[in-house]
Chain A
Amino acid sequence: MDGGNHDILIEAVDVKGYYDVPKGYVRAVDGCTLKLRQEEIIGIAGESGCGKSTFGKILMGYDKPPLRMVSGTITVNGVNIYSVTWNERKRIWGSSIAMIPQYSMNSLNPTRKIRNLIVDAMREKFRTGISESEMVQRAEHRFKDLGLSSTALDMFPFEMSGGMKQRAVIAISTLLNPKVLIVDEPTSALDVSTQRLLLELLYYIVKRKIVGSMIIISHDIASLRQICDYMYIMYAGKIAESAPMERMIEHPLHPYAKLLLDAVVTPEPEIRKRKLEGIPGAPPQLIKPSIGCRFSDRCPHVMDRCKSEEPPYLALEPDRFVACWLYGEGMGTDARRHDQS
């Protein structure tokens, strides 16, 4: 992982994406910055409702109304994705960058056989050349890679189990070996052992170069920890902290990150769950965000400044960012020495 610019696949700078609803604007993504490099697996973690799924959509340029990209820039493979029309973006969707949506089991057309869906997808992207039998052959090959038998091809979605459907979606999304795969909440609705298998599958996809880099969005930090290289932790539409995975686990800086990761270190799932729910208070509504730091009403280290001024998102190390007044300008090294836990 060298710092050369040419291998940055996605760069998002101070991105704001809002939902335009009758009640006002839901500020799901309110000024977030992100960088994705070649062969990197990034995790975006946070409680439900913090805006991470929205961020995933925005990152690939999928701002379908009422969602709207309001400000900031996102560069995908060197192209400023929001300076380009919707239809032009469709050209890179599925081929350079693809998404596996949340509740992927419901994302298949219920009245079409899997093999027809695959043929459709390939035709949409390739427009010419390949014959149908060749397409099916490629699909069978990929299915085998993903642990799906080729009989699945002739099934309708309602004939398949949830796990099979999910794998089918993964297969379809990775058909063209996209450079970037964005995976939204892959492990919710799965039991622990299936979760593990799925994570292994995702890791395998990257290692075998079926996809280039991956962004995994999840509230389940324990899962993310197993395969991600780098981690972003979001809270209420903003990024609280981001760091290489190991550094994040060893030494989280942001109080919210600390609380989250504390819970993860504990192995028993019941105690872990209780701890997560044990962060007092509730995440704020994204429609009328409060002044100052969004975490201030639940933060154990809250100071006066936090309630009136929003902390900036600063680099403490070349690879490490935090948005917290504990580490604000002028307090850099002091804060770190101060913080022993």
Chain B
Amino acid sequence: MTAKTPSFPHFFRRKIIVYVVTFYLALTLIWIIPHMMPGDPVREKALKIIAAGSKGGTVPGSGLTEVQVKRLYEYWVKKFGLDQPLEVQYLIFLKNCFTLDLGVSIRFHPSQVNDLLFRSLPWSLGLLTPAIIVGWILGNYMGALAAYKRSIFDKVLYPLFLFMSQMPYYWFALILVYSLSFHVRIFPAAGAYTQTLTPSLSITFLLDLLNHYFLPFVSVMIPYIGGEAIGMRSLILYEINSDYANYFESLGFRDRKLLSYTFRNAVLPQVTGLPIYFASAFGGQLVTEVVFGYPGIGGTLYAAVIGQDYPLIQGGFLMIVIVTLLGNFVMDLFYAYIDPRIRVAYRGEK
């Protein structure tokens, strides 16, 4: 008699399988691909270091002293089991990932990979989170406005939002730096704070922080507003033309009431989409951080990539995977809570 809806536990069971498989597969791929390539780059780098270490010399270009290289070589052989068969190396790798024992960075020796990552994390989060929250609110509001008002309003806003949503983040960042930092010297071009100041909770420092924060913040927020606006606009248009909207209008419902109905139904997917976007943006703000010299995860990962710092690359990726999967999971929880169909099924189970 009732419609077929997925039951609550069943709903989550499937999702969790996907997440576990994804986690495992992503890590495996990250490990396997370099080892399967001709001239396994990880091994090569390690061998270079080992060779230098065993001879007691240095590896040119890595910025390490003789002593550091020797220590690194010993450490690596022990830690990654480089003298062991591949299968064992793989298991060691997995164990390291699960225990979050990610080793020492090559580029930033002797810092631990973990430390580097966790130090970068707050910068990325601090940049992303407010930008996304403000952007979400503004974007959905304006998208809804364009959809409800239509006419010239919409004809102008729609192409504008579309443009905003398609701009490459980093290109927009360049434009911002050029116009507001080079051309008209309002904001600084790079860095999270002026290097000569010591980080503290003083007003001067905080103001300086904000000063450096502004451009990166805008460069993340504006394209996001465009995307949200476009999405919300089409969701609202879909609801406005639905059978129930027409029916209740024919019963004489005022525009305000109809708006509340359609808006609530349209905003649902936008709310659940937030954590997903956050998770994907987390890995993608890379270039923005590079352009602005902002010391977030993206900037760190970039430095790792450039410097062929494989432990750091793997660690950074692991962190991004975890954040992404967490984001997806949070979204699933939201969705289950908000969508009455899932909620009711859950109640029914009890």
* Binary CB contact string for chain B from 243 to 287 against chain A (1 if under 8 A, 0 otherwise): 110111111111001000100110010000000000000000000
**What is the CB-to-nearest-CB distance from A148 to chain B, in angstroms, rounded to a whole number?**
14
A156 touches B344 (CB 8 A): yes
A121: interface (CB < 8 Å): yes
B344 touches A94 (CB 8 A): no
Q: CB-CB < 8 A to A120: which residues of B?
A: 253, 257
Secondary structure dominating the interface of B = helix
Q: CB-CB < 8 A to B257: which residues of A?
A: 120, 124
* Contacts A/B (CB < 8 Å), 10 sampled: A107-B243, A108-B244, A111-B265, A111-B340, A121-B251, A124-B251, A156-B344, A158-B341, A159-B2, A172-B251
**What is the CB-to-nearest-CB distance from B4 to chain A, in angstroms, rounded to a whole number?**
10
Give me 20 other A-B pairs in contact (C-beta within 8 A), A60-B250, A173-B251 excluded: A90-B249, A90-B252, A91-B252, A94-B250, A95-B252, A99-B247, A101-B243, A101-B246, A106-B244, A107-B246, A108-B244, A111-B268, A124-B251, A124-B253, A156-B341, A158-B341, A159-B3, A160-B2, A169-B247, A172-B251
* Contact status of A90 and B344, CB under 8 A, knowing A101-B246, A107-B244, A110-B265: no
Q: CB-CB < 8 A to B253: which residues of A?
A: 90, 94, 120-121, 124
A62 touches B243 (CB 8 A): no
The number of chain A residues touching the other chain, given as a range, is 35 or more
* Binary CB contact string for chain B from 144 to 175 against chain A (1 if under 8 A, 0 otherwise): 00000000000000000000000000000000
Q: CB-CB < 8 A to B344: which residues of A?
A: 156, 159
B341 touches A124 (CB 8 A): no
A125: interface (CB < 8 Å): yes
A99 touches B250 (CB 8 A): yes
Instruction: State A60–B244 Cα separation when bound (angstroms).
Output: 18
Number of interface residues of B (CB under 8 A): 23
A48: interface (CB < 8 Å): no
A92: interface (CB < 8 Å): yes
**What is the CB-to-nearest-CB distance from B254 to chain A, in angstroms, rounded to a whole number?**
6
Instruction: State A164–B241 Cα separation when bound (angstroms).
Output: 24
A residues whose Cβ falls under 8 Å from a Cβ of B: 57, 60, 62, 64, 87, 90-95, 98-99, 101, 103-104, 106-112, 120-121, 124-125, 156, 158-161, 169, 172-173
**Contact partner of A93 among B1, B3, B244, B250, CB < 8 A?**
B250
B residues whose Cβ falls under 8 Å from a Cβ of A: 1-3, 5, 243-244, 246-254, 257, 261, 264-265, 268, 340-341, 344
A98 touches B251 (CB 8 A): yes
Instruction: State A60–B247 Cα separation when bound (angstroms).
Output: 13
Q: CB-CB < 8 A to B264: which residues of A?
A: 111
B1 touches A161 (CB 8 A): yes
In the complex, the chain A residue whose C-beta lies closest to that of B242 is A106
**What is the CB-to-nearest-CB distance from A237 to chain B, in angstroms, rounded to a whole number?**
22
Most chain A beta carbons < 10 A, residue from B5, B246, B247, B268: B247
Instruction: State A64–B241 Cα separation when bound (angstroms).
Output: 11
Instruction: State A336–B62 Cα separation when bound (angstroms).
Output: 108
Q: CB-CB < 8 A to A169: which residues of B?
A: 247
Query: Which 7 pairs, one residue from A and one from B, show the smallest C-beta to C-beta distance?
Result: A93-B252, A94-B251, A107-B247, A94-B252, A90-B252, A106-B243, A158-B3
Instruction: State A101–B252 Cα separation when bound (angstroms).
Output: 14
**What is the CB-to-nearest-CB distance from B166 to chain A, in angstroms, rounded to a whole number?**
27
In the complex, the chain B residue whose C-beta lies closest to that of A182 is B250
* Contact status of A125 and B252, CB under 8 A, knowing A111-B264, A111-B265: yes
**What is the CB-to-nearest-CB distance from A260 to chain B, in angstroms, rounded to a whole number?**
29
**What is the CB-to-nearest-CB distance from B256 to chain A, in angstroms, rounded to a whole number?**
10
**What is the CB-to-nearest-CB distance from B260 to chain A, in angstroms, rounded to a whole number?**
9
In the complex, the chain A residue whose C-beta lies closest to that of B343 is A156
A110 touches B5 (CB 8 A): no
Q: CB-CB < 8 A to B2: which residues of A?
A: 158-161
**Contact partner of A109 among B1, B244, B250, CB < 8 A?**
B244
Instruction: State A120–B256 Cα separation when bound (angstroms).
Output: 12
Q: CB-CB < 8 A to B341: which residues of A?
A: 156, 158
In the complex, the chain A residue whose C-beta lies closest to that of B251 is A94
Q: CB-CB < 8 A to A87: which residues of B?
A: 254
In the complex, the chain B residue whose C-beta lies closest to that of A101 is B247
Instruction: State A329–B323 Cα separation when bound (angstroms).
Output: 83
Instruction: State A109–B248 Cα separation when bound (angstroms).
Output: 9
Instruction: State A57–B246 Cα separation when bound (angstroms).
Output: 11
A158 touches B244 (CB 8 A): no
Q: CB-CB < 8 A to B3: which residues of A?
A: 158-159
Most chain A beta carbons < 10 A, residue from B1, B251, B340: B251
**Contact partner of B261 among A93, A112, A161, CB < 8 A?**
A112
Instruction: State A57–B252 Cα separation when bound (angstroms).
Output: 14
Instruction: State A161–B243 Cα separation when bound (angstroms).
Output: 17
In the complex, the chain B residue whose C-beta lies closest to that of A60 is B250
**What is the CB-to-nearest-CB distance from A55 to chain B, in angstroms, rounded to a whole number?**
15
A103 touches B243 (CB 8 A): yes
Instruction: State A295–B231 Cα separation when bound (angstroms).
Output: 47
Q: CB-CB < 8 A to A112: which residues of B?
A: 261
**What is the CB-to-nearest-CB distance from B249 to chain A, in angstroms, rounded to a whole number?**
8
Instruction: State A56–B311 Cα separation when bound (angstroms).
Output: 72
Q: CB-CB < 8 A to A173: which residues of B?
A: 251
In the complex, the chain B residue whose C-beta lies closest to that of A113 is B340
* Contact status of A110 and B251, CB under 8 A, knowing A156-B341, A161-B1: no
